[in-house]
Structure 1
Amino acid sequence: MKDIKTKQKVQMIKTKDSKANIKHFIKQQTLRTRNTDKDTRQESISSSANVQATNSVKRTAKQTFVESSYRTTKFIKERRNEHKIKKQNTLPNRNEIPPQKASYISKAKQTVVNKVNATKIKQSTEQVVSKPIVQNTTHAIKKSFHIVKKSVSALNTLFSFGTGLILLIVITLFIGTFSVLAQDGGSNSEIVSLSEEVIAYEDTIRKYAKEYDIEDYVSLLQAIMMQESGGKGNDPMQASESGYNIKYPRVSNGITEPEYSIDVGTHTFSDCVKKANVKDPSDTEHIYLALQGYNYGSGYIDWAISNFGGYSKYNAQQFSDMKKQQLNVSGYGDPSYVDHVMRYVGITFRGGTNPNFNNMEAWITKNPYAKTGLYGQCTWFAWGRFYELYGYGPGFTGNGWDCVDELLKAHPDKFERSTTPKAGAVFSGIGKNHVGIILKVNGNNITIQDGNYDGITNTFEDAKKDWQTNTYTLDYYRSRMGGIVFANPK
């Protein structure tokens, strides 16, 4: 009788444990299949990295968090119920697991482990945490989005290994997503006037800019001088350590002849422009790379292109940190050099450039119209363009014909109302609900930049193409808009 009783007890435990474990692992397999189908469907629908970044990253991260919380709670409840069942069916020795049960658990776990591509999971997490692997900001967003998707599909299996690892993956996922979005490719600095000393050197700067074939970049050279020295001292371009300095010691302030400093500095920046593949003054993305190269040395340009595909604020900081460690020094260059130089570039130069849609703050993260999905509207375009040109938000959030009034209310110390425009002004139509930016004023001719030529709200990808730069006579455009009012920079 005793043998029979023992046999029944073991049989009951074995049957119960088999059902519980089989049910648990079948659920995991079903969930993984559903997520795999979801990934395939998402990949077939997605058309571009930028669309994925703007329309899907936040939603995917939110869904991941909700799904993770739900499944974590469910997993804990299931384990808690299993624990209660174990206590009800007490074994003679609670610390001893029957051989049959141990064998089954081992096989079940091994089955799941074999189905998990551990290498891919490890690579996904390491790519987010350890080092940036993207080629530029657009690729960074695309890569982050794919990491999010892979992590979501992998979470189903990871639940069988404990809640600690689950939480680590979720935290890593959020850090990766939003740190990538923070890698802004634009310059967001407010405009500051040049000093009288720098202005006095304009003819000399233009002379050497023409000699080294970068005459279109005189404004940038003046801004570099302003950042380096304010136009003061005997080495106003701080070019003593350049390889083109063959007359004076290559130490800080080694050059003692201002014109020679301008010669060497202009020659150095000319090389940076060529090495960064700058096409023209509208190519801000590569101009930023050239500027940071002037500060760090041209080696940064090769490094940034090789590892990231170009400049970003994030990799500028990383390069500085890397050099500090290599050279065992407390500081290396200026990681914010691009912003510091661009604040001295006037609206005429900035206004002649095209929008840089890699500037995430201007077009996505800080743009109030982007937050409500109004990509392609004239208000969305004018807000982003203003932010690029001035380095701060214009303060308007309403309709096109209200934008000038809202801008004047937000920045009364910087702008004034007028019926005649200046370069850098914002205009609002009086009879037509429209807003745009004045780039140039030449007598009665105005060059404007505005968006929403197709008259509809677009995706971000389509909105990037729905803008124009045109020149009209002021009289014609005033008639076309049913009257215009301007917010001119003071």
Structure 2
Amino acid sequence: MKDIKVKVYDKNPKIRNPASRLPKELVRSAVLEAKEKSRDLPDRAREDTGQESPTEYAANKMESAEQRIGSESASAAYRAGKKMAVKTREKISERKQTQRAAQEAKEAATEGVHGSARQLSSFASRVEKLKGNRRDSRMQSRIKLKPESKDLVREAQKKMVRTAPRVVKVSPRASGKVKTQNAIQKRQAVKSAKAAKQAAVKSAQAARQSAKAAKTTAKGLKAIAEAAATTVKAIFAAVMAGGGAVLVLLIVIVGIIGGAAFMGSTQSAEPLSAEVLAHTPTIQRYTSEFGIPEYVPVIQAIMMQESGGRGTDPMQSSECLYNTQYPNSPGAIQDPDYSIKVGIQYYADCIREAGCTSPQDMDKLKLSLQGYNYGNGYITWAIRNHGGYSEANALQFSQEQAAAHGWSRYGDPEYVPHVLRYYSGGGLFAGLFGNGQIVSIAKAQLGNEGGQKFWSWYGFNGRVEWCACFVSWCADQSGLIQSGAVPKFSACTNGVTWFQGQGKWQAAGSIPTTGSIIFFDWDGDGTSDHVGIVDRCDGSTVYTVEGNSGDAVKQNTYAINSSSIMGYGLVAY
């Protein structure tokens, strides 16, 4: 059998291009070797010639240029940043100064028209100055840095963003906003000045109107001011008394609250006339006779309203049923003593009819007073129909009676407030006001020994007989020396002379009122030896508070007809 021919494959095929048979690693190494030879050429050339190769020269130049540009860029960035910082600072400062000037102008506007004009003038000059500063700033902003080249400046600006310190840049829009705010503040300042001027004109008008009103109410304001000053002195006197200061202070606070609430109606007592004071001994005699000795101040107030103490019928009691000696027609009585007797007798009936228990029982006291004017038939009518007195039912009663009798008017519907303006003894806290005040101050000093507090207050450097100094001190604390109701005296004889000279003297044997000044004559030679303050009198006994009684402040009692009593100084409260 013929042999079968088999194709034999050679493991190393024949390749026409022998170079293509080189592995890739040989190619890569050949390339690297070529690169190394190219790099070595400059070094060999430098070693051979001693000069830089072109490649190295170019590389060095590029590096030098980069360093120079970086340094100059940083310098330019710094200068530009500094300029912008200065510019921004100037704008901020300018804004603050403008705001400060506007604030000052606004404050000046509240001080008045003239002050506003001056401040506005200053504000205007400051605004002009600021405008000049801004013009200077704008001129400075036109000065540009001389750039090395356009590329250098451009590069510097780029560098500045990266390296320069952060600066708040005021945009044109923000600058315009600041200008608008400044303009608004300026307009507000001018508007405030105009408002201040108008307010000043209105204030002047109000002041003129207040002056007129004050002129018409001067008496009432003066009375209230005097009462307030007197009350303050009484408070300090009570607090300074010593023991029980906390309790006294609490009582005083309550007294102030009650007294202040009551002052507006009944405590603004107007002074009594000299004629009424002259009738006081007669009033005291008949109030004791008819069982109402504590109502002396009320009778004085009624007399002030009826006649001021003048005429032959000071109590206007001719129409009273107790008048049996003269016709029952207005002003018919021709004897002042008889008028006072009839009036007090009738008023005692009004007090009992009204159920008034004391001069401090104000609701019933008001009812009794209106009954004195209308007749005690009003008291029965008011209790039955309204439960007591009121200004409204007083007016109603007057209108009904006038219509029933065909008269144009009947009595005085405002008789109660008219009388109470002269009465200072009412109210729960009468001890702090009116004729009880000096007694309260005197009692607060009970127990004081030696009297140094009083004679040193008067001005003496050493001890003296200090009974008169004590009375004067109490009167001063009550505001009575300031009002002229009591003199400042250190000798009893001087006190007697003053009261007698003022027509305010009450003879011994009569019933004194609370707060009167009592003078004593121990040896009966007609010269006063001692003085004190009347606390009260029950018709038979006089109760007093005296300084220098056994060299101390003490309370004493005397029979009303005691031969030691020389007389009394009447005090107009």
Q: Which category of TM-score, normalised to the shorter sequence, fits these structures?
A: 0.3 to 0.5
Q: Output the TM-score relative to the length of structure 1.
A: 0.36
TM-score (norm 2): 0.32
Higher relative contact order (CA 8 A, sep 6+): 1
Larger radius of gyration: 2
